[in-house]
Amino acid sequence: MAFKATILTIFPEIFPGFLGTSLTGKALNEGLWECETVNIRDYAFDKHGSVDDTPCGGGAGMIMRPDVLGNAIEHNYSSGRIIYMSPKGKPLTQAKVRELSRENDLTIICGRFEGIDERVIEEYGIEEISIGDYILTGGEQAAMIMLDAIVRLLPGVLGNSASTENESFEGNLLEYPQYTRPIEWKGRKVPEILMSGHHENVAKWQKEQALQITKERRPDLLEKTLDSE
Ligand code: SAH
């Protein structure tokens, strides 16, 4: 069964956006995944399509109402996990992306304003996911990034499935440096070992490089690797 994302948003026109181009767009056209948008405003209870109100207890901005969002969820949810894109969520990692790529249905809520009423999260057992420690204007951008990462792992999307195996974060390591032709450019040569044709030595060099780069740039990842060994 193909992967289906049902996206609840007040800006449905944003989708599929960049997901409609390149590999993800080709996969969308080929039916390897499906992207359905639901306009939360269509589930408002007044003729203006109001979806937000002022925060209880005061404070800046507006909050998305639980009754309207709940109405949108209940009319469109079929099965699977419900995710709310949120800076308070668990950080999105490649392991999480892999896990989500094995699902058939994902319902994704995109927040706007100052976010959504907490009771919605409790009522529907919603999982919160963050794409990083910074604040965006809306969950749509975050949802698109998460979907891009998920879709490229779906069967048939990348030509060669082996090509995701040595990438950064697989095995908690950053990727080793990569080179292509020309062999010499601006006086800089491709490391000789890569031209040796000796697969074992090449693999050893790449592993060493990956370890070195991870040690320098992301020692936090390396600790995870050593823990799991
Ligand atoms: N007041 C909130 C931020 C609201 S930003 C807070 O301090 O936590 C508006 C919306 O953008 C959020 O509802 C969420 O859906 C989305 N968003 C912002 N930053 C995000 C991030 N890092 N990851 C995922 N979604 C994010």
Answer yes or no: is pLDDT of 226 > 70.
no
What is the CA(88)–ligand 1 centre distance, in A? 8
Which helix or strand (DSSP H or E) is residue 189 part of? strand 188-189
Q: What is the pLDDT of residues 71-109, one digit of tens each?
A: 999 999 999 999 999 999 999 999 999 999 999 999 999
What residue type is 66 in one-letter code? P
Least Cα distance to 70 among 15, 126, 14 occurs for: 126
Residue nearest to atom 4 of ligand 1 (CA): 114
56 lines ligand 1 (CB under 6 A): no
Local structure of 128: helix, strand or coil: strand
Ligand 1 nearest atom to the CA of residue 132, by list position: 22
> How far is Cα 10 from Cα 95, in angstroms, rounded to an integer?
29
Index of the ligand 1 atom closest to the CA of residue 133: 22
Region 191-219: mean pLDDT is 98
Average pLDDT over residues 172-182: 97
Model pTM score: 0.95
- Residues written for the chain: 229
Domains of the chain: 3-151 (3.40.1280.10), 166-228 (1.10.1270.20)
182-to-25, 157, 178 alpha-carbon distances in Å: 31, 29, 13
* Look-up of token digits 């049902």: 6
pLDDT at 85: 99
The pLDDT of residue 134 is above 60 = yes
Tell me the best of 9, 54, 85 to mutate to test the pocket of ligand 1, counting ligand atoms within 8 Å of each CB and taking the most: 85
Confidence tier at 209 by pLDDT (50, 70, 90)? very high
Judge residue 51's burial from the number of C-beta atoms within 10 Å of its C-beta, 0-12 exposed, 13-18 middle, 19 or more buried: buried
DSSP lists the bridge partners of residue 109 as 8, 84
Residue with tokens 């948008």: 37
Does ligand 1 come within 6 angstroms of the Cβ of 91? no
The residue whose C-alpha atom lies closest to atom 22 belonging to ligand 1 is 87
State how far the Cα of 67 lies from the Cα of 93, in Å rounded to an integer: 32
